[in-house]
Structure 1
Amino acid sequence: MAAQTKSIGVQPELLRWARDSANMTIVDVAEKFKKRPEEIEAWENGEGGPTYAQLERLAYEIYKRPLAIFFLPSPPDEPKPRTEFRSLPDADLSSLQRHTVLLIRKGHAFQAALEELYQGRNPTERPLWRETSLSTQRAVSPQAQRVRDLLGVSLEQVEEASTDDEALKLWRRAIEARGVFVFKDSFKQGEISGFCLRHEEFPIILINNSTTKTRQTFSLLHELAHLLFNRSGISRFDDAGIDELPPQDRAIEKFCNSVAAEILVPARDFAIAVRGLDPLHASDEEFAAVARRYHVSRSVILRRFLDQGQVSEAFYLEKDREWANQRGRGGSGGDYYNTQGAYLSERFLRDVVSGYSRRVISKSEAAEMIGVKPKNFDAFQDLVLRGAA
């Protein structure tokens, strides 16, 4: 009977805030909750309210919030996507799906866990963003070379990678070694390629695992470029909407694309690799052969021709759309714990496990940091001990 007791002390404003912050309409909530929209609207207007059991469902299943947050006197102050991200036009920001909004919130939770784990200070002696930054007022090539030098990834190392996945891991580990924590997840909103969240000590990148490894690599470097502009960013797979951005934001977004392409495919080496190749008449296999050299997509190779003025933007967009229709999904597959371990920042997971092993943090604290139930933490500990994460 206690489950039927009305919730006490829940402000209607908090119910509205929780729904708005998940980018959901009253109809969306009603459908998930198997209720009439009028009933959800009445709760938000202070006419009655959910039972305690219903509030638990709202908190844990629909809004993905701690239950305690609904008993605050007023909504907490949180960054909103519209103010946090300037790399998408307003139309795209307003259409962010609930799952994407929840992933952004998950990213902030990871940052809070990082602050707790490392006691407020990045464990890297020389974080990348304190060694260099980007500016649209300087040439792309030397800035990209500076980033590549600081990451310590050579063309030879990339070329020697046996698979696209190995090349992605090479870049990911190099970036984490310079203080940026990299996470992955499967995005339900397929057109989003990833996002980054700036932070003075703990910037993070979260990339969409539901696509090819080469696409993930470009997204990783694109989001890194955002961070080196000292801004959060959320990016699409295509260039749609860039021209709708304000001039300064549009310039930065295009610059991030160029920097990522130059880091992955340096112009000097590219000129040698494509000598004698006519991009307007080259076959898909010829583009693919060059792409394999750098473990990038054909679109990145075509973008290099675009950057050098050898193809028009219309030609690039047409081929990119054609190739996009041919791309497979990255997928995860395999063992659940291996997959989830790969989603987490390798350095973060390793240090959480180390903290638990040294009894610096408890199992429940360690599990909360990586976002799993305490009973499942041992499986992630085994991953680290086996070196599989």
Structure 2
Amino acid sequence: MAKAVPLRGVQPALLKWARESVHLSVDEVAGRLNRAVEEVDAWESGAESPSYAQLEKLAYDLYKRPLAIFFLPAPPAEPKPEAEFRALPLADLRRLKRDTILLIRRARAYQESLVELFNGQSPVDEPIWKQVSLDARKSITEQADAIRAALRVPAPGAHEWGASDGDEALKRWRKAVESSGVFVFKDSFKQREISGFCLDHDQFPIIMINNGTTKTRQIFSLMHELSHILLGWRAISTFDGNSVNMLPDREKRIEVFCNKIAAEILVPSADFSEQLERVPVNIELAGPELFASLAERYRVSREVILRRFRDANRVSQEFYEERKRDWDGQRIQRASSGGSFYLTKGAYLSEKLMNEVFSRYGRRQITIDEAADFIGVKPKQVEELESRFLRGLAA
């Protein structure tokens, strides 16, 4: 077998930068390439260079970068999660896994696509951030009411919410948020403790939520991230309450505030107070049916109802934490096997983004290659995805 020929011109600093940008160690890269750690170290020190085939694997398989980037004189400017996200402790940000980093990068790419598609101007005349400005020092109830009004969602318990499994409710909340000017994407996060994240922007804010959880949990994540956007505060959120407790005081107050806003949007105090009049005095002795029925009414998780009981001093902190631990193990939504790529992609992408891309492609204002770039698929997949999207709108 011929020996691999080292590729001249590859910049060692770019190799190290690309590896660190996706939070991979030298050992992890060596293991994925089935190479010696010393060999990868030598590439990054400049003592040796990878072959063309090795660089292709590094660029396309591991780091998800264009090949040409490794020949630049210096790494391009790019924000780091540690610098732009403040809703997780620094140690947790540094432990973000490669797949989460790539999802953040994909969200940034979607944001750039939106800027280009809409010529830098939000397609919504009066976006929600111009109607509602959040302030952690002001009334939770009044601010949550303002958000509900801006989103124009039905009252709790109204028949418009549809099926009780949360699927129709999630679709309605998502559509309401997108109609307000915020673009919503989904993906199945491999780092399962991450519930979602958001990228603020003066015209094209983005929310990405974890599709690997229950629909009701996704709804809460959506409202939590929306609260962050209305504060102008980029965030990566987790299911772990201990992470919040480890934050500096200011960031901790913001996270607690966003949780309270999300809970108040989904379970308005006035309506919940009416429901409280019909529940047993000692809620801790009530059966699971109580939590299930209220969760169904508001299309939220049982944990949200439990938190509302705790905030109303109807259950103890110990009871809250015990039940939450029990339910946390059930929050992961089992993905069905053999799913369609097109159905999954259609569910993950922002409807408003797809509508604009396919409208322009249908009018031949953009090419099939450009359409593919905007929505992050291969050119050969564009027309089938377009067909399914248009059929869905007509249904």
TM-score range, shorter chain: over 0.9
Give the aligned partner of residue 33 of structure 1. 33
CA shift, 1:374, in A, is 0.5
Cα 1:360–1:55, aligned 2, differ >3 Å: closer, same or farther?
Answer: same
> Structure 1 residues 3 and 308, CA, compared in 2 at 3 Å: closer, same or farther?
farther
1:209 counterpart residue number: 211
How many pairs align?
389
* Cα deviation digits, residues 212-251 of structure 1 (max 9, x gap): 0000000010000111110111111131211111111000
Cα-to-partner distance string for 1:311-338 (whole Å, 9 max, x where unaligned): 3333212211111223451525532211
1:366 maps to amino acid: A
| Separation (CA, whole Å) in 1 of partners of 2:309 and 2:159 | 21
| 1:184 alignment partner, SS class | strand
Counterpart residue identity of residue 121, structure 1:
Q
Q: CA RMSD in A?
A: 1.8
1:303 paired residue among 307, 314, 334: 307
Gaps of at least 5 residues in structure 1 are: none
Aligned residue number for residue 295 of structure 2:
291
Other-structure match for 2:154: 154
Equivalent residues of 1:221, 1:260 under 8 A apart: yes
Distance 2:124 2:356 in 1: 13
Structure 1 residues 158, 212: CA separation in 2 closer, same or farther (over 3 Å shift)?
farther
Partner of 1:142: 142
- Describe the SS at the equivalent of 2:198: strand
Measured after TM superposition, the shift of residue 60 of structure 1 is 0.7
Superposed displacement of residue 139, structure 1: 1.1
Higher alpha-carbon deviation: 27-36 or 89-98:
89-98
The alignment status of 1:78 with 2:86, answered yes or no, reads: no
Q: 1:223 maps to which residue?
A: 225
8 Å CA contact retained: 1:197, 1:233 = yes
Find the aligned partners of 1:332 and 1:366 in 2 and give their Cα distance.
29
Q: Which has the larger displacement, 326-335 or 4-13?
A: 326-335
Q: Deviations over 1:349-373 (max 9, x none)?
A: 1111111111111100110111111
Q: For the residues of structure 2 that align with 1:322 and 1:149, how far apart are their CA atoms?
A: 34
* Cα distance in 2 for residues equivalent to 1:189 and 1:230: 25
1:105 is aligned to 105
1:172-194 superposed Cα distances (whole Å, 9 cap, x missing partner) = 00000011000000001111111
Query: Take 1:114 and 1:89, find their aligned partners in 2: how far apart are those partners?
Result: 30
How far has the Cα of 1:138 moved from its partner? 0.2
Counterpart of 1:318, as a letter, is E
Deviation (angstroms), 1:159: 5.9
Contact 2:369 2:379 in 1 (8 A): yes
Q: Report the CA distance shift for 1:173/1:307 in structure 2 as closer, same or farther (over 3 A).
A: same
**1:340 lines up with 2:345 in the alignment:** yes
Distance 1:270 1:244 in 2: 31
- Larger CA deviation: 77-86 vs 154-163: 154-163
**Large movers: runs of 4+ above 6 Å:** none
With 306-315 and 126-135 compared, the bigger mean Cα shift is at 306-315
Look up the match of 2:93.
Answer: 93
Aligned equivalents of 1:158, 1:72: Cα separation in 2: 58
Identity of aligned residues (%): 52
Pairwise mapping of residues 259-278 of structure 1 onto structure 2 (< 5 A)? 259-277=261-279, 278=282
- Give the whole-Å Cα distance in 2 for the aligned partners of 1:187 and 1:267: 32
Task: Determine if the alignment matches structure 1 residue 350 to structure 2 residue 355.
Answer: yes
Q: 1:258 to 1:296 in 2, by over 3 A?
A: same
Counterpart for residue 122 of structure 2: 122
Quickly say closer, same or farther: Cα 1:146–1:386, change in 2 above 3 A: same
- The secondary structure found in structure 1 opposite 2:202 is coil
**Who is 2:386 aligned against?**
381
Work out which of the residue numbers 225, 243, 246 in structure 2 matches 1:244.
Answer: 246
- 3-state SS of 2:126 partner: coil
Q: TM-score normalised to the size of structure 1?
A: 0.96
1:91, distance to aligned residue in structure 2 (A): 2.2
Per the alignment, in what secondary structure is the counterpart of residue 125 of structure 1? coil
Q: Is the 8 A contact 2:161 2:168 kept in 1?
A: no
Aligned residue in 1 for 2:173: 171
Counterpart contact for 1:159–1:293, Cα < 8 Å: no
Q: Is the 8 A contact 1:3 1:52 kept in 2?
A: no
For the Cα contact (< 8 Å) 1:192–1:237, is it kept in 2?
yes
Scaled by the length of structure 2, the TM-score of the pair is 0.94
Native 8 Å contact 1:183 1:207 kept in 2: yes
Encode CA deviations 1:258-315: one digit per residue, 9 max, x unaligned.
0000000001101112324233222112110110001111100011112223333332
In the alignment, residue 286 of structure 2 is paired with which amino acid? A
The 8 Å contact of residues 332 and 339 in structure 1, kept in 2 or not, is answered as: no
Pick aligned residue for 1:323 from 319, 324, 327: 327
Counterpart Cα distance in 2 of 1:55 and 1:313 = 54
1:56 aligns with 2:56: yes
